[in-house]
Amino acid sequence: MAILHVLTFPNPVLRETCVEAVPGTDEIRKLADDMLETMYIAPGIGLAAPQVGVSVRMIVVNIMGASDDSDPHILLNPEILQADEEITAFEEGCLSLPELKVHIERPRMVKVRFQDLGGAHREMLAEDLLAIAIQHEMDHLEGRLILDYATSIRKDQYRRKVKKLLAERSI
């Protein structure tokens, strides 16, 4: 396994709409292993392929983080079939947007269809933090970031902060 570089805003790959993942290949299995290792080291509870520079529809999620790496969720080509009408709010962070937290409202429960690494079609019901994490990572597959949910003032502040950091690094 390898630790992958997590892309940060404003890298343009983070804004791409991802293509379908091809299950059953050695490459996709290795990518899943590497993404899990990267997520645990970061540390985080979810990671989407575009965050490591691969624009395919794959996410990994483990809301227990590295404390229990025995049962991670690896979802290829996920789609939400059903979303609960009950909404929950959570302050979300993102490995690709360091130092940014955004209060986001999302459905508390979602039913998701996906393919596993071997290509079998599966469905799962996710609720609470798992549902939030899956929706967050699925946003990445469409080029959406938590920054998109922020107020315009917070967006401007964060963009200025990133611009300043990038300018300081190039000196």
Residue 9 and residue 158: Cα distance in Å, rounded?
10
d(CA 58, CA 24): 13
Taking the CA atoms of 32, 49, 6 and 70 in sequence, report the sign of the dihedral they define: negative
How far apart CA 47 and CA 25 sit, in angstroms, is 20
Q: Is 46:136 a contact under the CB 8 Å cutoff?
A: yes
Number of H helices, E strands in the chain: 3, 7
**Backbone phi and psi for residue 160, each to the nearest 5 degrees, phi listed first:** -65, -40
Is 91 assigned a catalytic role? Answer: no
Q: Which of 91, 137, 142, 168 is catalytic?
A: 137
Active site members: 137
